[in-house]
Copies of this chain bind each other. A is one copy, B any other.
Amino acid sequence: MRIEEEIKQEQFRNEYQKAYINLLYTSSRLQVEQAALFKPFGLTLPQFNILRILRGQYPKPATISLLIERMMDKTSNASRIVDRLEAKELVTRKQCPEDRRTVDVLITEKALALLQKMDECAGSGRTGINNLSETEAQELNRLLDKIRE
């Protein structure tokens, strides 16, 4: 469906405004879809993202700072997301002896198994983005990078 119909707005100021709104709207749509995929596994999107970063580090732990650095949303609150993962026994947290200001966050076996299962089932990357051809995906990456320049 064209963006005009999606939000019932037939007129945009120009192609730029339309692209702007289209970008935000499409991103939101993809996130809603992905959250729905994650729900059966009891994870929210930010929780999943944190776990993915931790898996990338495994078997090394990560500090909260490192998590923030790699998160897409840098202003979200890594501390509290880790709180919830800890409550679900998906990560452990312990003070780092070398620098006692920092905390070693480590993904648990339980979480690794969960991610494995999610990889096999839903999360294996089938989204609307796959409607694009390889060339179109490249072009999209180019345009997005240019927007952030």
Contacts and interface: CB of A to CB of B under 8 A. Distances in A.
Interface of A: 1-3, 6-9, 13, 15-32, 56, 69-73, 75, 125, 127-132, 134, 136-141, 143-149
A69 B8 CA distance: 8
What is the count of identical protomers in the complex? 2
Given A20-B129, A27-B28, 16 more contacts: A9-B56, A13-B125, A16-B125, A19-B129, A20-B127, A21-B72, A22-B145, A25-B144, A26-B27, A128-B148, A128-B149, A132-B143, A136-B143, A136-B146, A139-B143, A140-B143
- A interface secondary structure, majority: helix
A30 B127 contact: no
B30 A24 contact: yes
A6 B13 CA distance: 31
Q: Which of A6, A8, A28, A75 has the most CB of B within 10 A?
A: A28
Nearest to A135: B15
A61 B16 CA distance: 28
A137 B15 contact: yes
A148 B72 contact: no
A144 to B, nearest CB: 5
8 contacts: A1-B149, A3-B144, A3-B145, A9-B70, A21-B72, A22-B145, A140-B140, A143-B143
